[in-house]
Amino acid sequence: MGTGPFAVPSCRRIVEAGHNVPLVIVRPPVASSGKKPPLAPVQLWAEEMGLPLFQPASVNDQSSLARLRQEAADLFFVCDYGQILSRECLSAAPLGGINLHGSLLPRHRGAAPVQWTLLAGDKCAGVSVIHMTPGLDAGPVVARRSIELGRDENAAELEGRLSQLGAEATIEAIALLDSWDGQTPLGIVQDAQAVTKAPRLHKRDGRLDFQCTAEELERRIRAYQPWPGAYGELVFGPNKQMALHVRSARAIEPVGAWRAVGAAWTAKAGELGLTQPEWLTAPWDQLLIVQTGGGWLAISQVQPAGKRIMAVSEFLRGHPLPAEDAHFVL
């Protein structure tokens, strides 16, 4: 049972390991703005493999349960699916279900664990495979893997690494369940006192509040790639205002006088004593600096509304900032 891209590497690995997959369950597509919705990544994988596909509105209703019992699977694998399985649903397989989750549980339970790992400023990230209960991400952990975060890693990059890491953890968990006697306590019970929440993000979350510290804003910019994106309204002259997505930035120590929060100006990296980091292929010669509630934010890549991602130096050639009173709307 899966829908999004995070599940695909584990799905592939399950088949490669020789396990029989009698059915792939994917959430049905939801159309928006009259457009035909794209096929879910797990659906594309199932069709590529020629596996039977089932897309119930609810996996917990009686017709879905009848289909699950008919398949007589030993175990359900669940990842990036989007529905919580009821106790009755889990009982339709003798071994119940395992769920691959994109965090080191009990930290970051919820729909957006990768993003909240970055928002929280964690030094390590990882995946956990739990033996499922009807609660949200609450079962005992039967397998896990961890990695260190890259200095400038964003959510898209981290999710890609974790999805690959999760494939081996999934195979380890399946092997444990395969030899389980059904009675011996399985896995490590999660500490309820250590639980943190990772709720689903919304489009409005991407709006940058420059009254926050530069470090917090940098984490948000990395966490919100590719969605919902981190953006603000840049004012750069009389009657000139533009929605601007910030694609990469770093928090830096101020090397000049304090300015009004949200004030924006340009500076050369060399003037600030900065050298271009290895992660950034775009030119770093010109930066857009913003005064935040704590420290400066040095923006190196932006994306104007409806345009492509570009280096700040390229953006400034078409939209030069005035010497005074350029700022982001608070």
Encode pLDDT of 118-140 as tens digits.
999 999 999 999 999 988 899 99
| Equal CATH topology for 5-194 and 203-328 | no
pLDDT above 80 for 32: no
At 27 the pLDDT is: 95
Q: What is the mean pLDDT of residues 171-189?
A: 93
Q: What is the Rg, in whole angstroms, of the alpha carbon atoms belonging to the chain?
A: 23
Q: Is 10 helix (H, G, I), strand (E, B) or coil?
A: helix
Of all residues in the chain, the percent with pLDDT exceeding 70 is 98
- 5-194: CATH superfamily: Formyl transferase, N-terminal domain (3.40.50.170)
At 280 the pLDDT is: 66
Tokens at 105, concatenated: 């549980």
Residue 279: pLDDT band with limits 50, 70, 90:
low
d(CA 54, CA 17): 23
Given a contact cutoff of 8 angstroms between Cβ atoms, the answer to whether 265 and 326 are in contact is yes
Cβ-proximal residues to 309 (8 Å cutoff; 6+ apart), any chain: 247, 301, 302, 303
Tens of pLDDT, residue by residue over 94-125, are 999 999 999 999 999 999 999 999 999 999 99
Pairing of strands 124-131, 141-148: antiparallel
Q: What is the mean pLDDT of residues 29-57?
A: 90
The CATH architecture that domain 203-328 belongs to is Roll (3.10)
pLDDT above 90 for 323: no
Q: What is the mean pLDDT of residues 140-160?
A: 96
Distances (CA, A) of 142 to 111, 126, 139, 190, 264: 20, 14, 9, 11, 49
Residue 239: pLDDT band with limits 50, 70, 90:
confident
At 281 the pLDDT is: 67
Mean pLDDT of the chain: 94
* Beta-bridge mates of residue 298: 250, 289
Tokens at 180, concatenated: 């389980």
At 136 the pLDDT is: 84
Q: DSSP class of residue 196?
A: -
Residue 238: pLDDT band with limits 50, 70, 90:
confident
Residue 233: pLDDT band with limits 50, 70, 90:
very high
Q: Is 2 helix (H, G, I), strand (E, B) or coil?
A: strand
d(CA 80, CA 96): 17
Of all residues in the chain, the percent with pLDDT exceeding 90 is 84
pTM (two decimals): 0.93
d(CA 76, CA 84): 13
At 276 the pLDDT is: 75
Residue 230: pLDDT band with limits 50, 70, 90:
very high
Show me where the domains of the chain are located. 5-194, 203-328
Given a contact cutoff of 8 angstroms between Cβ atoms, the answer to whether 25 and 59 are in contact is yes
